[in-house]
Amino acid sequence: MIIGLDAMGSDLGPAELIAGAVKVAQEKDIQVAIAGDEAQIKAALGSAGPKVSSLIEVFPASQVVTMSDTPSEALRKKKDSSIAVLFELQKEGKVDAVVSAGNSGAVVASAIKYLGRLANIARPGIASVFPTLKEPAVMMDVGANVDCRPRNLLQFGIMSSAYYSIMFGNPRPRVGLLSIGEEIGKGNQQVKEARKLLQNSELNFIGNVEGGDTFQGNVDVIVCDGFVGNICLKLSEGLAEALFKMLKDEIRSSVSAKMGCLFARGVFRNFKKRIDYAEYGGAPLLGMNGITLICHGKSDRTAIKNALLEASELVNNKVNEHILTMLESSDAPKGGDN
Amino acid sequence: MIIGLDAMGSDLGPAELIAGAVKVAQEKDIQVAIAGDEAQIKAALGSAGPKVSSLIEVFPASQVVTMSDTPSEALRKKKDSSIAVLFELQKEGKVDAVVSAGNSGAVVASAIKYLGRLANIARPGIASVFPTLKEPAVMMDVGANVDCRPRNLLQFGIMSSAYYSIMFGNPRPRVGLLSIGEEIGKGNQQVKEARKLLQNSELNFIGNVEGGDTFQGNVDVIVCDGFVGNICLKLSEGLAEALFKMLKDEIRSSVSAKMGCLFARGVFRNFKKRIDYAEYGGAPLLGMNGITLICHGKSDRTAIKNALLEASELVNNKVNEHILTMLESSDAPKGGDN
């Protein structure tokens, strides 16, 4: 098994990402194929020792997809980008998964171009892990599809249930449909129709959930379209950051509070860790004929290490076979974008 | 000026709500008409003193709308509820605004039945105040309309701008359209069309904003449909609560942290106050021929006092005349639900 890592296009630069690859090779014996600017990658690898050298292979790529490239520009004009090189390798079966913290639109477009969709999946989507008061929850889709049909939502439920069961060892995750009230009649047209499909599926469907349920730990898989999901994801990140900043401001404005914080320092560290996306690695693009993990642009070495580990879990546990089996038993519509 | 207060149907019971009315009468000389169970109201008022007695009038209502009543049941079967009594009073011009912490669906339905829509407003909606790192922001709609047309979103922008300018003294609030990227091409079909309408309006439109912008203070008015807005509102409340709980758990698990917190106690108090919805009073239902404030079911006396004050501000500053003037100058479509 070899996991592909895109060294380019992230906010923190190649050295930080490569440090994550070195860690995962050193600690977990995982083979990593790194694509990007050869000189920068070799400089970052430096003298990593014989074990790491034997586990890491470098694939030169002469182009970099930047944040300002549109997905179609990236596909058309940057055929030798690190992203394109990696997906070509995955298509040829030379790597088993691609991990990237670069331009996520370009990653999705490249996955679709090089890998293609899984049989009978109408729309691939992105699943994202949220911390809760109990076990983590997964929300899907968080940004790949802005206008969805009810059947897309059913398939998101199936794909993210398969993902959840592999990542968190729960074979029957509770699936909720994100809406604005628990009652059957609550929600927009899309949600009302999706509810019927979910209810008739083999999933462990528990009904509608509300925005506030996301962090309570009473639902494992939260289904929504990519417009709503992306807003939820960004709202949550923004609110957690803002609350931290407010708390810091309050602490700074008081001498006794500053003293108090010397005592409480470990608490804040643990707390931050508990809500830190870096702990969860990357967000999988599910529904493709291959494995793709999209990492936050600000991912540090820990986040990248965790994403590479996550990718190896998904490969080992055959996430796509699992999805296909569940699709068949769950009354999912066959084929077509309807 | 007389503000109507619904004494029934909230989570904390009539006594807590009436304590808010007593405070606002005592401290701000505001006249309040309280509707509900006469015996309970009189008991809660007790011996409030001659000043309060002269400012508060009681309107008996024999029925209570509960949380399990659907809006249509409330309208049909509970014509002598505290909600119905108050809207009848507002219709007759005997009170200038209605404040309720009861069943919000029933409040919206009653407002529509008794007051009717403002001229040329296709859909009324609910605006809600969010705390940010700088000035507060307002989001509209947070739950009255699940399936919206682009023109509804334009009118939400107009109505909430008028509300914002009265509440926060900023005559040209920055209006953002909630989407999943700042670029023109980002968003679902509804948002792409709404963007054109907002761009051509007289509003201070700054373009698309993302979920994470909500708490940064770089946008004053956030426009979205009621499905997305309601999920955002509940997600934010749920996340803030969950973060507090996690922080408390961390503190409880460490002795030195507990000591630290003795020093830092004031910080947490200030912080909670800063993010507390109670500070902001109620959420206005805008677009009706009258003034209606919907309060959180858990509103305490401070929240109710602030909501009654807010209602008096909206009456004094003629929020509806302001909306009508802005509608005219903002190229809004005239009439019809389109």
- pLDDT single digits (tens) B183-209: 887 889 999 999 999 999 999 999 999
> Does B133 contact A245 at a Cβ distance shorter than 8 Å?
yes
**How far does the CA of residue B124 sit from the closest CA of chain A (Å)?**
17
- CA of B135 vs chain A CAs: smallest distance (Å): 13
Q: Which residues of A48-78 are buried (b: 16+ CB within 10 A; e: fewer)?
A: beeebeebbebbebebbbeeebebeebbeeb
What b/e readout covers B297-329, taking b as 16+ CB neighbours within 10 angstroms? Answer: eebbbbbbbbbbbbbbebbeeebbebbbebbee
Of A236, A241, A260, the CB nearest to B262: A260
Q: Across all residues in chain B, what is the average pLDDT?
A: 90
Residues of chain B neighbouring A256 (CB-CB closer than 8 A): 263-264, 266
A&B contacts, CB < 8 Å: 189
The pLDDT of A137-166, averaged and rounded, is 95
| CA dist., res. B269 & res. A130, Å (int) | 27
Question: Could you say which of A191, A213, A270 has the minimum Cβ distance to residue B238?
Answer: A213
ipTM of the complex: 0.87
Whether the Cβ atoms of residue B235 and residue A211 lie closer than 8 Å to each other: yes
Q: How far is A219 from chain B (nearest CA, A)?
A: 13
Q: Which residue has the tokens 């803002």?
A: A242
Torsion, Cα B323 B328 B329 B331, to 10 degrees, reads 110
- Mind listing the pLDDT tens digit for each residue in A171-227? 999 999 999 988 887 889 999 999 999 999 999 999 999 999 999 999 999 999 999
Rounded distance between C-alpha atoms, residue A88 and residue A82, angstroms: 10
Tokens of A292: 């793709």
In the predicted structure, residue A332 carries a pLDDT above the cut 90: no
The answer on pLDDT for B337 being more than 50 is no
**Preceding peptide of B141 cis, ω within 30°:** yes
Over residues A284-330, the pLDDT tens digits come to 999 999 999 999 888 999 999 999 999 999 999 999 999 999 998 87
pLDDT in tens, B152-173: 999 999 999 999 999 999 999 9
Whether the CB-CB separation of A83 and A114 falls below 8 Å is answered with: no
Shortest CA distance from B145: residue in chain A: A188
Chain B partners within 8 Å of A239 (Cβ)? 214-215, 236, 239-240
> Residue B35, Cβ neighbours under 10 Å: how many?
29
Radius of gyration of chain A (CA): 21
The answer to whether the CB atoms of A226 and B147 lie below 8 A apart is: no
Q: Do B210 and A231 touch (CB under 8 A)?
A: yes
What per-residue confidence (pLDDT) applies to A272?
Answer: 67
A133·B236 Cβ contact <8 A: no
Partners of residue B117 on adjacent β-strands = B288
Structure tokens at B232: 């955002």
In a mutational test of the A interface, the residue from B104, B108, B130, B146 whose CB has the highest number of chain A CBs within 10 Å is B146
Q: Which of A232, A239, A248, A276 to mutate to test the interface with B (most CBs of B within 10 A)?
A: A239
Residue B60: strand pairing partners: B36
Rounded average pLDDT over A134-144: 93
- Residue indicated by tokens 């917190």: B261
Distance (Å, whole) CA A315 – CA B179: 34
Nearest to B313 by CA among B297, B295, B293: B293
Residues of chain B with Cβ-Cβ distance to A222 below 8 Å are: none
Q: Is A215 left (phi over 0), alpha (psi -120 to 50) or beta?
A: alpha
SS3 A209: strand
Tokens 């030379």 -> residue: A94
Cis omega (within 30 of 0) for bond into A141: yes
Question: Residue B139 in 3-state DSSP?
Answer: strand
> Considering only CB atoms, which chain A residues are within 8 Å of B246?
133, 271, 274-275
Residue B16, pLDDT above cutoff 60: yes
pLDDT of residue A46: 87
Distance from CA of A187 to the nearest CA of B (A): 6
Judge: A256–B234 Cβ closer than 8 Å, yes or no.
Answer: no
CB contact under 8 A, A212 and B235: yes
Residue range A37-51, pLDDT digits in tens: 999 999 999 878 889
Q: Are B264 and A254 in contact (CB < 8 Å)?
A: yes
Written as six digits, the tokens of A25 are: 């090779």
Q: Is B46 left (phi over 0), alpha (psi -120 to 50) or beta?
A: left
The region of weakest confidence among A155-159, B106-110, B230-234, B261-265 is B261-265
Q: Find the mean pLDDT for residues B134-141.
A: 94
pLDDT of residue A17: 96
H/E stretch holding B226: helix B226-252
Query: A218 is written with which tokens?
Result: 């009473």
B209-224 exposure pattern, b = at least 16 Cβ within 10 A, e = fewer: bbbbbbbbbebbbbbb
Tell whether the model's pLDDT for residue A338 goes beyond 50: no
Please determine, for residue B278, whether its predicted confidence score (pLDDT) is greater than 70. no
CA distances from A32 to A39, A261, B3, B120 (A): 17, 41, 68, 62
CB contact under 8 A, A238 and B230: no
- Chain B interface disruption, residue of A123, A250, A276, A277, most B CBs within 10 A: A250
Q: From the list B213, B242, B259, which residue is nearest A215 (CB)?
A: B242
pLDDT at A266 over 70: no
Band of residue A115 on the pLDDT scale cut at 50, 70, 90: very high
Which helix H or strand E contains A285, and what residues bound it? strand A283-286
Q: Are B221 and B173 in contact (CB under 8 A)?
A: yes
Answer yes or no: is pLDDT of B41 > 70: yes
User: Residue A271 above 80 pLDDT?
Assistant: no
pTM: 0.90
Beta-carbon contacts of A155 under 8 Å, excluding residues fewer than 6 positions away, are: A121, A122, A123, A125, A287, A327, A332
CB atoms within 10 A of CB B134: 11
Q: What is the mean pLDDT of residues B70-93?
A: 97
- Work out the percent of chain A whose per-residue pLDDT is above 90: 74
Residues of A in contact with B147 (CB under 8 A): 188-189
Q: What's the whole-number mean pLDDT along residues B270-286?
A: 74
Contacts of A250 in chain B (CB under 8 A): 267-268, 270-271, 274
CB B146 within 8 A of CB B228: no
Nearest to A234 among B146, B211, B254 (CB): B211
Chain-chain contact of A257 with B239 (C-beta, under 8 angstroms): no
CA pair distance A119, B64, nearest whole angstrom? 55
Distance CA(A151)–CA(B149), nearest Å, equals: 23
Nearest Cβ partner for B232 among A191, A231, A266: A231
Residue B254 · residue A267 · CB < 8 Å: yes
d(CA B202, CA B121): 17
What phi and psi values does residue A111 have, to the nearest 5 degrees? Answer: -60, -45
Q: Do B257 and A237 touch (CB under 8 A)?
A: no
Quick check: A246 and B143 CB within 8 A?
Answer: no
For chain A, give the mean pLDDT.
Answer: 90
* Contact check, Cβ <8 Å, B271/A247: yes
| Per-residue pLDDT at B237 | 87
* DSSP code of residue B63: B
Using a CB-CB cut-off of 8 Å, the residues of chain A touching B226 are 180
Task: Output the CA–CA distances (angstroms, integers) from residue B156 to A20, A236, B198, in the order listed.
Answer: 47, 24, 10
Is 50 exceeded by the pLDDT of residue A335?
no
Task: Provide the percentage of residues in chain B whose pLDDT is more than 70.
Answer: 90
Beta carbons of A211 and B238 less than 8 Å apart: yes
Asked if A278 and A300 count as a contact pair (C-beta separation under 8 A), the reply is yes
For residue B142, the model assigns a pLDDT of 94
- The set of residues, in sequence order, having a beta carbon less than 8 Å from that of A56 and lying 6+ positions away, is A21, A22, A25, A31, A32, A33, A34, A45, A48
The pairing of strands A56-60 and A31-36 is parallel
Q: What would the mean pLDDT of B217-221 be, rounded to a whole number? A: 96
Is residue B291 classed exposed, middle or buried when 0-12, 13-18 and 19+ CB atoms within 10 A define those classes? buried
C-alpha distances in Å from residue B245, one per residue of A103, B120, B251, B270: 35, 46, 10, 17
